[in-house]
Chain A
């Protein structure tokens, strides 16, 4: 347990020593909200639409943490000679993985906090305590396939490839999943594609928790399928990486 705390502190310290990276991850969702939601009264004045917008951007915050903290962060770790040194210390892989997970949760929460504050102060968005809890729970579930995606990238690519891959995945999946623009405005073909994306399924799940909108029947199977595929990729990448490092 103390080793988990030690490694969590270490990863956090290392992350905040490059403040601009933290600011980017933490501020991007709330800035998007300020520019694309708050000025439009038809959304920000409508309790359901604005709550949905907060839910979408909340998932976006988690998504970018998954891709950058886990994808790029892990790839970066693997590239430094410090990593093999840490592996000579009397500590197994467990505390290091848990520490990284806790840091992901920490920075995702840091991204959510200003978003929730802004939403409460500047829009009509509102949730009951039950809805808030459901929303957070749904957010955690929706984050699972995205987390695996990040881990798979981190363990299979060198850092120079992980950065562009993370960026290339982030925007289309976020846009296509309706995290920026509500999918109600999508043309039919795009909506059909969108239904199959993990971001869309996650978004729908969260919104079903935070508002009275019904959960589409496809959402949970789609999330489960993506979690399975990304999970298998992540485990394979992790194992292959061990194999390569042991050469």
Chain B
């Protein structure tokens, strides 16, 4: 059986009245790359802060290397990146890296790591004078310097240019190829696609989907077919239908070609046909509609269900 490096079991966490995590259970086995995907405010950051020992769950247990993440020794093989703006601006690059390296038993020699990440020439500069990309690379160096087994990256490339992003992704892939385990959050599908093998979609504090990248990709690769029409007959190729303004319908489908053919064959008097990729947000909604009833009952949304799936004919 594979060793579990990180786990959340029945974890609930509130901020005042807001339920940030609602009975979440999740395991991260050694050697895997898990992408946490979800819109802002979905609970991704809360999941991570619990894992990093920054917060306590209200109920449930969080384990890191089999122990409480709030015990310092259990964080010895954890590597995570600070926010880009968090680096102490008056300290030099070398000093910040040496400081973090000093917490670890067998750190990577810091000069070598800086060279590796293309920061060798910046070693003597204060971090406040670095460019955004250089700061991000230093953040990654801080995460890697302790030779971690588990790397936790929170929105690692937000705001980075394409080159810097690909460089960082390569670094993470190398880390994984050497046997490392990675948890990465993002609200970019592309980023999760580039790194993860397993995707966990989080929304409204719950795990909606926990599946392989391919399975999730096929589900969020939905298209939105938009038409104007008075009433619609039941359509087999529609996963979910939303009534928009006036007589505008948004039909979400796994196969837009088949749906258009179906509309034509059914002789639906539609106008203004548009086909577009579903946005990530729309894809998340589509995933929500796939949930078993047990989940839907806890977040009832009658308005949405009225126009869901094969009920499209209801509006006459």
A residues within 8 Å of B by Cβ? 2-3, 6, 10, 13-14, 17-18, 80-82, 84-85, 87-92, 245-247
Contacts and interface: CB of A to CB of B under 8 A. Distances in A.
Most interface-central of B15, B49, B82, B100 (chain A CB within 10 A): B82
5 contacts: A88-B75, A88-B78, A90-B74, A90-B103, A91-B103
B52 interface: yes
B87 A90 contact: no
B207 interface: no
Nearest to B49: A84
B15 A90 contact: no
B90 A90 contact: no
Query: Contact size class for B?
Result: 20 to 34
A85 to B, nearest CB: 4
Contacts of B80: 85, 88
B152 to A, nearest CB: 8
Interface stretch (B53-61, B243-251, B274-282): B53-61
A183 to B, nearest CB: 41
Interface string B14-43: 011000000000000000000000000000
A18 B91 CA distance: 10
B172 to A, nearest CB: 18
Contact of A6 (B75, B87, B103): B103
A4 B6 CA distance: 29
B16 A247 contact: yes
B254 interface: no
A81 B100 contact: no
A82 B82 contact: yes
A6 B76 contact: no
Contact of B82 (A13, A18, A85): A85
Contacts of A89: 72, 75, 100, 103
Contacts of A80: 86, 88
Nearest to A83: B86
Nearest to B100: A89
Most interface-central of A18, A81, A89, A247 (chain B CB within 10 A): A89
A84 B88 contact: no
Contact of A91 (B49, B72, B74, B83): B72
A180 B49 CA distance: 49
Contacts of B15: 247
Most interface-central of A3, A10, A90 (chain B CB within 10 A): A90
Contacts of B99: 6, 10
Contacts of A2: 102
Contacts of B268: none
Given A85-B82, A87-B53, 10 more contacts: A6-B99, A14-B90, A17-B90, A81-B86, A89-B72, A90-B73, A90-B104, A92-B72, A247-B15, A247-B16
Nearest to A247: B15
B95 interface: yes
Contacts of B126: 17
Contacts of A81: 82-83, 85-86
Contacts of B54: 84, 87-88, 245-246
Contacts of B52: 87-88
Nearest to B83: A81
Contacts of A87: 52-54
Most interface-central of B55, B80, B102 (chain A CB within 10 A): B102
Contacts of A3: 102-103
Contacts of A92: 72
Interface in B151-206: none
A246 B95 contact: no
Given A90-B76, A90-B103, A82 B55 contact: no
B79 to A, nearest CB: 9
Contact of A13 (B53, B85, B95, B100): B95
Nearest to A16: B90
Contacts of B87: 82
Top 4 closest pairs, chain A to chain B, by CB: A17-B90, A85-B82, A81-B86, A6-B102
Nearest to B98: A6
Given A89-B75, A246-B55, A82 B95 contact: no
Given A6-B103, A18-B90, A90 B72 contact: yes
A14 B88 contact: yes
B188 to A, nearest CB: 21
Nearest to A18: B90
Nearest to A84: B54
A84 B74 CA distance: 17
Contacts of B85: 81
